[in-house]
Amino acid sequence: MPQIHFEKTRQPLDVPEGTNLMKALLEGGLPVASSCRGDGVCAKCRIQIVSGKENLSPENDREKFLREKFSISRSERVSCQTEIRGDVTVTTSYW
């Protein structure tokens, strides 16, 4: 079972493969910024990927559009559009 690790002090979360990153973080008790509630409109739910980006789903068309529209760094993913496929380490500025 994949784990979400955190750059700052926090226990990792075990999640089933294919779990949506935003939902996993919310269910794990972590706040995730969003004004569209995960509909892939606002891109506020971007999460910095510290390591393990190869263990995430490829960017879909919606995420590619949001990356361009909001000039999102390549080190970040739009969490509502991202599935976990293996271990990953993440962080945000507000945790």
Q: Is 55 helix (H, G, I), strand (E, B) or coil?
A: helix
Domains of the chain by residue range: 3-91
pLDDT band at 88 (very low <50, low <70, confident <90, very high): very high
Which pTM does this prediction carry? 0.94
Tokens for 69, please give them. Answer: 């529209």
Residue 93 has pLDDT above 90, yes or no: no
Task: Look up residue 44 and give its two tokens.
Answer: 């506020």
| Cα distance between residue 69 and residue 66, in whole Å | 5
- Say which residue the tokens 């739009």 belong to: 78
Model confidence at 11: pLDDT above 80: yes
Identity of the residue numbered 74: R
Q: Residues 66, 40: contact at Cβ < 8 Å?
A: yes
**pLDDT tens digits for range 47-67:** 999 999 999 999 999 999 999
CATH of the domain spanning 3-91, picked from 2.40.50.100, 3.10.20.30, 3.20.20.100, 3.40.640.10:
3.10.20.30
